[in-house]
Structure 1
Amino acid sequence: MILIGTCYGYLIERLPISGGEFVYAYYGLGRYHAFFCGWFLTLGYMSIVALNASALALLGKFIFPSLIEIGHLYTIAGWKVYVGEIILACTALVIFAFLNVRGTSLSGFSQFIFCIGLVGGVVLLAITMFLHPSSSPVNLQPLFKPDRPAIASILAIVAIAPWAYVGFGNIPQAAEEFDFHPRKSFALIVMAILCAGLTYAIVIVSTGIGMPWISAVDAGYVWGTGAIVESAYGKVGVSLLAFALLMGIFTGLNGFYVSTSRLLFAMGRAKILPKAFTKLHSKHKTPYWGIFFTMAVTMAAPFFGREALLWVVDMAALGVTIAYFYACFVAYRLFRWSAKEKSQNEVLIVAPWRKLFSLLGVICSASFLLLLVVPGSPGFLSKPSWIALLAWISIGVIFFLTRFTFYKNMTDEELDQYILGEYKNREINTESAKPPVSAASLTSTFRAGER
């Protein structure tokens, strides 16, 4: 994941523009690849927003079952859907939508507070679980599922790594709104991935030592992690775990509202989506249409229950992986091994080390993709996930065909202006590089181009 992240760091230096992978795919491979990449990435981001909202409902079911499990509506895939959990999830989606409309300063500060709360809660949880008398490393045995080869268990986790670490994708999506040089994004991405991996490991080990995991699985708990902590420290321990998890949910909701809305903004600016997505709030200068559109779409998710949503999330991992591949491949094409390969009119950079890391990123992202789509692979998508994927592709095909004639007839110069702005010909990694322009100024350029 760090190899993939380095490719993003290179591209943000070159193109600090909202849209991330959508912009990179257009820059390196053209308009049709940009649509394909952007469509799948939108699905991936929206699914993560929806999943975090459903995780909040799951947490509520475990902590306050008497409040959440009221008004049983129906059952989907064995999951009972209640009015209480729908209200809780939808309320969270509305609150975070309005928080993001207020601007990146407020949402960014909130994200910082959420992260501090998450880290503090995880560290305190780990300390208390390791000190508990019943905790023991023996409870981690067996290390792998007994009836499954160890390598299959490892690869099953590797297959979902692109989705599990997708949080660093918030950085390129909000690149236009940085108040620092985009070169710093490289360190931010690497540190984000390292911290995420460490956090995952701490939570897994600190809860795993509390009870034999096979016993926890056999017990059929609604939330196995919570049940383990509750058995050790009762409601106090669950409250601590719930606080840490709540902070994690909030970071996911907040961060991917930012990512989804900026991606929709970039696609609207390219006229792939309706012009409404390019509108900025009169006071806060945020793409509020994209924010409210994300809210409207994801508010349907709580009505389908968590099990059905997990199918969509599994499928969304494929969309995120496709975006990773595009970013790494474009980074690979951007650099050259030596000056002999560079044509006179090419805006390409001789950087053999960067090209090597980009090549490794391509290989890693392609490997993730194969784990998800090759039959027999431990990470192969389930049948419901494939059905959901085909449905999303069908919608994309219909949408693309309705815009095809207009999109095809736009000149390259028009699209360059709308998508790349002043960054089309700027050299990468130069000290004289301009700081990124704001979303508002690029939108002004877009509207001037229309006139």
Structure 2
Amino acid sequence: MNRNLKFKDVLVLAFSTMIGWGWVALTGNWVDRGGTIGAVLAFVIGAVLCIFVGLTYCELTPALPYSGGELVFTYKALGYHGAWFSGWMIAFAYIGVAAWEGPALVTAIDYLITIPRYGYLWTIAGFDVYATWLVIPVCVGALLCIINTKGIKTSTIFQAVVTTILAVGGIAFAIISGMNGSIENMKPLFTSANGMFSVVLAVPAMFVGFDVIPQVAEEMNLPLKKIPAAIVASILLAAGWYIMIILASSLAAPNEILGREGLSVVNAVNYAANRPIAGKLIVVTAIMGILSSWNGFIIGATRVLYSMGRAKMLPDFFGKLHKKYHTPGNAIVFIGVITILTPLLGKNSLGWFVDASAFGTVIAYLMVTISFVILRITCKDLPRPFRVKHGMIVGIIAVIISLFFVSLYLPVGNCSLSGVEWVIVGVWVGSGMLFYLLSLPHMKENTRIRENALFCKSPEN
């Protein structure tokens, strides 16, 4: 694929993929549970936990700089079977998040201007789905597919534009809060340790996105040693964003305002500015976050599916590049169809896809951190442009953190998936098993083809 991405492109891609819609709706809940300082500390703790996992990516990405990321890392460490499972789960994570961006976008726009309800289709989870509800996500989803088909540079230009608008809106909100807010509004500063840690449990889902960086490794035009800086910087920038929004929201309005029905950040800015237009502008800012996240996860998902297709782990359809633009054209069409169809499930599907895809992400984190430890033992001579200090200690801590993340979503955990969400996970895993079983008869004969594809070697090598 074409190598067009500079350092700033990679950093913007990762940061903007992490900043979606959640900060607008959930900030009031974080402050209510942990208090202002408690919520801030929760994001600091969450960032530190994610950095431990991110450090394993920092070493493995420049050591194995090939499209597919987690797929390539786990193939090197665990072989075909582990890699197949890891690739399929990270694809699920990306597709799941991309799938809910359509319903999130139309929900946000409906807040700005009421979308007419015409063409009743059905009711799902208490929400009436209308044909007019589908127009916006279908059009935007198709547009993003066209942008991605034209190339990574076009995608990153789009990403840079929407991220700039997002940043301007967030900073403007912070300024309004500073000018019109009150320190008294920030009380209580801290509720309890239990309250703070309940916020920590929600933090990992907010940092999903830095792992898109390994997916575009083949499209980077920068020294390998700079990749780790982009990974860590993106996590720190995302943490800074969430902390800024928490402080600005609690400064702008008291808890009873943040906790009102609706979007907590919109409630805060309306209270501080005393002008409804301010809240509308924050929603526009949030829409930019939805678009950047949607685009980022399309990029990540298509690279994983393309890599699996190229390595004969999925049908050849997924491993084809667009003849003109050298992008994963078929994978983009596949993702586009899914993201265009999911609004048919209605507004309440948002939570299903967010939680189910987060489970896929933490499974992939676990596979990568285990692979990091194994490669430190079995591949000591692997060239590592960046080497994590005290790597085995960092790796073991990262594995423990990943296991903790996974446990949260199990039935015994505090963020256990619902029945519907387990069904979504089951359908994805079940369909994956079908592809996996179909690939097994050709596993041995395709070993050389697969390795050449994953590690970008010419066939004669």
Which bin holds the TM-score, normalised by the shorter protein? Answer: 0.7 to 0.9
CA distance in 1, matches of 2:142, 2:56: 34
Which residue number in structure 1 is paired with residue 173 of structure 2? 125
Q: Flag the 1:36–1:116 CA change in 2: closer, same or farther, 3 A.
A: same
After superposing the two structures, state which structure 1 stretch, 398-407 or 224-233, moved more: 224-233
CA distance in 1, matches of 2:189, 2:122: 37
AA paired with 1:57?
A: V
CA distance in 2, matches of 1:28, 1:68: 53
Aligned pair partner of 2:99 in 42, 46, 50: 50
**Offset at residue 125 of structure 1 (A):** 0.9
Q: Flag the 1:179–1:302 CA change in 2: closer, same or farther, 3 A.
A: same
Which residue number in structure 1 is paired with residue 268 of structure 2? 228
Which residue number in structure 2 is paired with residue 426 of structure 1? none
CA distance in 2, matches of 1:106, 1:68: 33
Secondary structure of residue in 2 paired with 1:166: coil
AA paired with 1:93?
A: G
Indicate yes or no: 2:54 matched with 1:5.
yes
Secondary structure of residue in 1 paired with 2:129: strand
Secondary structure of residue in 2 paired with 1:335: helix
Which residue number in structure 1 is paired with residue 182 of structure 2? 136
Which residue number in structure 1 is paired with residue 433 of structure 2? 397
**Offset at residue 72 of structure 1 (A):** 4.5
CA distance in 1, matches of 2:388, 2:148: 38
Is the 8 Å Cα contact of residues 61 and 69 (structure 1) preserved in structure 2?
Answer: no
Is the 8 Å Cα contact of residues 61 and 85 (structure 1) preserved in structure 2?
Answer: no
Is the 8 Å Cα contact of residues 155 and 295 (structure 2) preserved in structure 1?
Answer: yes
Question: What aligned pairs does 1:281-296 form with structure 2 within 5 A after superposition?
Answer: 281-296=322-337
Aligned pair partner of 1:359 in 368, 372, 396: 396
Which residue number in structure 2 is paired with residue 164 of structure 1? 206
Which residue number in structure 1 is paired with residue 453 of structure 2? 418
Which residue number in structure 1 is paired with residue 227 of structure 2? 185
Question: What aligned pairs does 1:238-387 form with structure 2 within 5 A after superposition?
Answer: 238-335=279-376, 347=382, 353-373=390-410, 375=412, 377-387=413-423
CA distance in 2, matches of 1:214, 1:300: 38
Q: Flag the 1:80–1:220 CA change in 2: closer, same or farther, 3 A.
A: farther
TM-score scaled by length of structure 1: 0.83
Q: Flag the 1:120–1:259 CA change in 2: closer, same or farther, 3 A.
A: same
AA paired with 1:366?
A: L
CA deviation vs aligned residue, 1:208-229 (integer Å, no higher than 9, x gap) = 3333334554x432x3432333
AA paired with 1:289?
A: N
Which residue number in structure 1 is paired with residue 82 of structure 2? 33
CA distance in 1, matches of 2:108, 2:319: 36
Is the 8 Å Cα contact of residues 9 and 183 (structure 1) preserved in structure 2?
Answer: no
Q: Flag the 1:332–1:99 CA change in 2: closer, same or farther, 3 A.
A: same
CA distance in 2, matches of 1:405, 1:264: 20
Is the 8 Å Cα contact of residues 139 and 210 (structure 1) preserved in structure 2?
Answer: yes
CA distance in 2, matches of 1:305, 1:214: 29
CA distance in 1, matches of 2:198, 2:80: 34
Q: Flag the 1:101–1:411 CA change in 2: closer, same or farther, 3 A.
A: closer
CA distance in 1, matches of 2:252, 2:366: 39
AA paired with 1:136?
A: S
CA distance in 1, matches of 2:53, 2:166: 25
CA distance in 2, matches of 1:412, 1:405: 12
Is the 8 Å Cα contact of residues 342 and 348 (structure 1) preserved in structure 2?
Answer: no
Identity of aligned residues (%): 28
Q: Flag the 1:34–1:110 CA change in 2: closer, same or farther, 3 A.
A: same
Indicate yes or no: 2:127 matched with 1:86.
no
Indicate yes or no: 2:244 matched with 1:202.
yes
Secondary structure of residue in 1 paired with 2:123: strand
Secondary structure of residue in 1 paired with 2:347: helix
* Larger Rg computed on CA atoms: 1
CA distance in 2, matches of 1:272, 1:245: 37
**Offset at residue 68 of structure 1 (A):** 5.0
Indicate yes or no: 2:157 matched with 1:109.
yes
**Offset at residue 44 of structure 1 (A):** 0.8
After superposing the two structures, state which structure 1 stretch, 17-26 or 224-233, moved more: 224-233
TM-score scaled by length of structure 2: 0.82
AA paired with 1:15?
A: L
**Offset at residue 188 of structure 1 (A):** 0.4
AA paired with 1:174?
A: V
Secondary structure of residue in 1 paired with 2:96: helix
After superposing the two structures, state which structure 1 stretch, 386-395 or 172-181, moved more: 386-395
**Offset at residue 342 of structure 1 (A):** 7.7
Is the 8 Å Cα contact of residues 266 and 280 (structure 2) preserved in structure 1?
Answer: no
CA deviation vs aligned residue, 1:359-389 (integer Å, no higher than 9, x gap) = 22212111111122251x3222223222322
AA paired with 2:407?
A: L
CA distance in 2, matches of 1:212, 1:231: 9
Runs of 4+ in 1 over 6 A off after TM superposition: 348-351
Is the 8 Å Cα contact of residues 73 and 371 (structure 2) preserved in structure 1?
Answer: yes
AA paired with 2:250?
A: G
AA paired with 2:311?
A: A
CA distance in 1, matches of 2:194, 2:241: 23
Q: Flag the 1:280–1:413 CA change in 2: closer, same or farther, 3 A.
A: closer
What do you get for the CA RMSD once the two structures are aligned? Answer: 2.5
CA distance in 2, matches of 1:156, 1:389: 24
Aligned residues: 409
After superposing the two structures, state which structure 1 stretch, 411-420 or 173-182, moved more: 411-420
CA distance in 1, matches of 2:99, 2:200: 22
AA paired with 1:361?
A: A
AA paired with 1:360?
A: I
Is the 8 Å Cα contact of residues 148 and 155 (structure 2) preserved in structure 1?
Answer: yes
Long gaps (5+) in structure 1: 423-444
Q: Flag the 1:151–1:38 CA change in 2: closer, same or farther, 3 A.
A: farther
AA paired with 1:304?
A: L
Long gaps (5+) in structure 2: 1-49
